[in-house]
Every structure is written in C-alpha cells, then in structure tokens.
Amino acid sequence: MTGIVVSDASPLHYLILVGAVDYLPRLFEQVIIPSAVAAELTRPNTPPLVSRWTSQPPSWLKIVRPQAVDRSLNLDAGETEAISLALELGVDSILIDERKGRLVAAQRGLLLIGTIALLERFAREGWIDFDQTIAHLRAAKFRLNERLVTEAKKRLEDARP
C-alpha cells in the first residue's frame, strides 16, 4: 500500500483512539479526508483526543472539499463525500468500515480497506500487538465483526515463522 488514500471518519477515529494512527504514513504517502469527515471528527460528542488530533492534523493528512458530491449514494455526509472525493481525485482505495458505505464504494470500483485490515497489516509489520489493539478497539466501542478478527488472527498466526 502506497500513494494516496481517501478516508471516511471511522477508521481514523478508531486508529486515533487505539494509538495506531501514526502508522498510516508508513503505508500511504498521503491520507485525504473530505470536509464532511473532518466535521464528523470534530463534533462536540467526539472524544477529545480525536477532536484535537483532527484540529491539528499531521502533515500527511489533507482536508479537501470535493468539487461535486453525489447525493444519490444515499449515505451519511462523510461516506458520501469520501466516495465522491476518491472518484473525483482518481484515488483507487478508500478507508471505510460501514457496511453500506463499503458496498457503495465497491460498486464504484474502489478498493476497500477497513480498520481491521489496517491493524492486521500493522501487526504483520511488527508495529502493534494485534490482540492488545483489538482489546482497545472493544473498549472504544468499535463494532467488531468477530469473523474478520478471527480470520486476521489466523493469517497472522500462519505468517509467523
């Protein structure tokens, strides 16, 4: 994974909460979020850690307002703008977790990367402890798909020398 990726709010939100967001620039030169995602990440009910991080973003995060937003996607504002922006910029991949958003993004030819897939990659590289980080995700109220976690753990175990 290299180059540029567009992100929806959920992956960034939870990567910030579990202390793993700083590994993203090891995989991507730049992460782009649309303005609606930046707004979601700084809402009053957002955890302060997430709001502060988004308000003072690192150099590898860029906030971009899409020129055209496809409202027919029938998703929330962040997902709609993220998918619209990825298509507008010709970016191949999108960081997105929500099932309906993933379906719409896939239908438009985008490669989907979810939080669990990112954590699996981070663990494979030796940057994080997968089980410990999954425990932190649970504590942060992330809606885990247990099948995805089990499959990721198996791949990580199979990859061990």
CA distance 36 to 55: 13
CATH topology of domain 4-116: Rossmann fold (3.40.50)
| 60-76 average pLDDT score | 93
pTM assigned to the model:
0.93
Residue 1 has pLDDT above 80, yes or no: no
Phi, psi at residue 108, to the nearest 5°?
-95, 10
| 1-30 average pLDDT score | 94
Q: Which pLDDT belongs to residue 159?
A: 86
CA distance 128 to 158: 17
CA 40 to chain centre: 13
Q: Which pLDDT belongs to residue 2?
A: 62
Domain boundaries of the chain, sorted by first residue: 4-116
| 132-138 average pLDDT score | 96
DSSP string over 18-49 = TT-GGGHHHH-SEEEEEHHHHHHTTSTTS-HH
